Homo-oligomer: A and B are copies of this chain.
Amino acid sequence: MTGRYDYIRDGAEIYRRSFATIRAEADLDHLAPDEARIAVRIIHACGMVEIGRDLVFSPDFATKARAALLAGKPILCDSKMVANGITLARLPAGNEVVCTLSDPAVPGIAARIGNTRTAAAMHLWGDRMAGAVVAIGNAPTALFHLLEMIDAGAPLPAAVIGLPVGFVGAAESKQALAGDGRLPFLTLHGRRGGSAMAVAAVNALASEAE
């Protein structure tokens, strides 16, 4: 069944041409090769080459995040869309993908700490935070609260994908992450971000295959 439309129907060829277009059009000159590979996948997920120049990586992010995944550390996600979007077959060590948002304890914790359910859910990550990759693609409150939890003594993750999206706190929480100094990070300053970008970053880190 070829139909009346002329389009590319081969998945591998679609990926190849997509990534070639992104590398031809996006400004990635400020990035190291491993950072550029992550940037290409994030751009692929949103259709916007122009974000290439706005992505910010701390110098140790790609190395620390990749090492954590190779060491089998978990990926801690702020939303179910992030957790569900990660391609498990790409993960190098059968890494656990964690989203605690649906846990029945969350509403009670949220009431106790006076924060959103997303922020509250992070209290259930527990010791899994130590050396983990944290992927935040939805809630600014999650990114702010991550920093607060570390202030309060929570274990340090290996790296933070800080890509919350939106109009209330997103830009500010990403500035706080970038200025924090304790955490290797990837972010996109401003309002843009989202679960698809966070997933793309994890999928890029998980395997060097394009």
**Copies of this chain per assembly:** 2
Is A17's CB under 8 angstroms from B81's CB? no
Q: Is A195 an interface residue (CB 8 A)?
A: yes
Is A44's CB under 8 angstroms from B84's CB? no
Contacts of A2 in B (CB 8 A): 114
Check A46/B4 contact, CB under 8 A, given A168-B17, A199-B81: no
Q: List 15 A-B contacts (CB under 8 A).
A: A1-B114, A1-B115, A1-B152, A5-B173, A8-B168, A9-B119, A11-B117, A44-B166, A46-B165, A47-B167, A81-B81, A81-B196, A165-B196, A195-B196, A196-B196
User: Told that A5-B147, A5-B148, A8-B141 touch, could you supply 4 new A-B pairs with CB distance under 8 A?
Assistant: A4-B148, A7-B169, A194-B194, A196-B196
